[in-house]
Structure 1
Amino acid sequence: MEGLSGKAKLDAVLAEISKAQLAIQTLSANFQQTKVSRLLKEPSVLSGVFYYQAPDQVRWEYRNPRETVVLVTAQAMVTYRPAERLAEKVELGRSQRKLFSFLSASEPIMNLSRHFSFTLRDPGGEGNFVLILNPVTHQLKKRLHHVELVIDRKSFLPVRFSYTEADGDVTTYEFSQVKINQPLPPNLFSLDLPPGVRVVELKLRGSE
């Protein structure tokens, strides 16, 4: 990256991120999710483990303060809360699929250029790259103000990302103990719900 600037540096960083993504078959990492909202007196802080298997299988396993499993597929998102004996299946429209696949890390960075404009910040030295993504499509603009990705300078993988919704709410994910291309438990990306769990099927408003 030395000697590059402007669009040339941005293109080089995006190419390295794409290369790093293509090399991933499986990934797991601890995460902490923090949400700041005008509707909350204090930030909401949750933590757990994130799993990904190429090309598009994603599992968010929340462990604190309460157990919740979120599975994201190409067509739907399923949220299971064992303590409530409740599973919610949300059918995703076209724009929602694009948004959820991006937020779940299953969307190649280069594919997002049709939906976002990119701005690169480089602090230099040992500092990590920061990518700012601003939505350019009407459907995404209705939900997102912008996304910020912090990219590890050596691995070119995200170590933190945050998204600011159109109403100003901000959700941030920080990742640690990242393991790449290690075996994952079998049946990790399916939910075998126990008897008595109520399943509710929903469709997001405005889905296409």
Structure 2
Amino acid sequence: MATPDSTSAQILAEGSITVESPQNQFYPPTMQKLFRSLSLFLILTCALRAEPDLEPFRIALAKQAQFRSVIVEIQQTKKMAALNEPVHTKGKLWLQPGKAFRWQLGEPIASTAIYDGTAVYLLNEKDKSAQSFPPTDNKVKPLLMMLGMGDGASIEAMSKVLRITGATKKNSHYAAAFTPKPIKLKRAIKQLVLQINTESSFTERIEWTQKDGSVVTTTFSKPKINAPLPPQIFSFNKAEYSWEN
């Protein structure tokens, strides 16, 4: 599926619309005021028409909150200018919506991310190094948000940090493109594409385009909804790792 795009929305987001004010020597004040009013009306009309529908995401988040568990296979693809070919990595996700998750990548396992409800742990399984972050840390908030967790997992919260620039729907697949609002986030991320399945209400694809042009795409397939989770899946032996923070 092509990346969602909305030309008018992108123009507004990038501040490219410029409206030339009539020169004073050619128009009387009443005409100048009329032109300014008309220009403002046209800009607002374009903005209203360009705003895509976020209702499918509201519905999906509400349904996801009702799931007891989700087990899904992951395929991650990295495209970088320094690499001739994309890098493909398989993995798996165990999710207890709103409460905890375990995200593993690599065969054998190269990295693991665990959220146990109190902190997010990023584990390097190759050198056994690890980092711990509170769920409010900006380094892990995007991941929590995309998995429907934390304060940022609502449409209202997402709208504070992300601006929707376009959306597209094909059958049961609904995708939307977003650009970051905060300056700090803009320095790292250029665009986010989020795709859901409107029938299963589960996320199918997350695509991050970084500022340097690198693209990381994660697809989720074969979801098992409300299947039993393995015991202690959200715990691990902290003594096995050297901690960097």
Instruction: Tell me the TM-score normalised to structure 1 length.
Output: 0.79
What does 1:1-208 correspond to in 2, within 5 Å?
A: 10-64=53-107, 66-72=109-115, 75-81=119-125, 83-84=126-127, 86-91=128-133, 94-106=137-149, 107-110=152-155, 111-124=157-170, 126=171, 128-193=173-238, 197-202=240-245
Which SS does the other structure have where 1:186 is aligned?
Answer: coil
Is the CA contact 1:95–1:139 (under 8 Å) kept in the aligned structure 2? Answer: no
* C-alpha distance in 2 between matches for 1:100 and 1:146: 15
**How many angstroms does 1:18 deviate by?**
2.3
Identity level (%):
21
CA gap of 1:198–1:15, structure 2 versus 1, over 3 A, is closer
Greater percentage in helix: 2
Q: Residues 76 and 89 of structure 2 are in contact (CA less than 8 Å); yes or no, is this contact kept in structure 1?
A: yes
Deviations 1:119-160 (A, max 9, x none): 442345x25111112111122212211110122132232111
Partner of 2:144, secondary structure, is helix
1:8-27 per-position Cα deviation (integer Å, ceiling 9, x unaligned): 97142232122222222311
Letter of the 2:133 partner, please give it.
E
Matched residues in 1 for 2:65 and 2:49: separation?
A: 25
CA distance in 1, matches of 2:202, 2:144: 16
Q: 1:40 to 1:121 in 2, by over 3 A?
A: same
Give yes or no for contact 1:47–1:65 (8 Å, CA) kept in 2: no
Secondary structure of 1:95's partner? coil
CA contact (8 A) 1:120 1:131 kept: yes
Take 1:178 and 1:118, find their aligned partners in 2: how far apart are those partners?
27
Separation in structure 2 between the aligned mates of residue 63 and residue 158 of structure 1, nearest angstrom: 21
Question: What is the letter of the counterpart of residue 70 of structure 2?
Answer: L
The 8 Å contact of residues 190 and 210 in structure 2, kept in 1 or not, is answered as yes
Greater mean alpha carbon deviation, residues 64-73 or residues 178-187: 64-73
Contact 2:209 2:215 in 1 (8 A): yes
Q: Tell me, in whole angstroms, the C-alpha distance in 2 between the residues paired with 1:6 and 1:47.
A: 40
Q: What do the CA deviations read for 1:10-53 (whole angstroms, capped 9, x no partner)?
A: 14223212222222231110010011112333211110111111
Give the letter aligned to residue 89 of structure 1: Q
What is the distance in 2 between the residues matched to 1:122 and 1:23? 26
Q: How many positions carry a matched residue from both structures?
A: 193
CA distance in 1, matches of 2:140, 2:113: 15
Tell me the CA shift for residue 174 of structure 1. 1.0
Q: What is the Cα deviation at residue 75 of structure 1?
A: 3.6
Gaps of 5+ in 1: 203-208
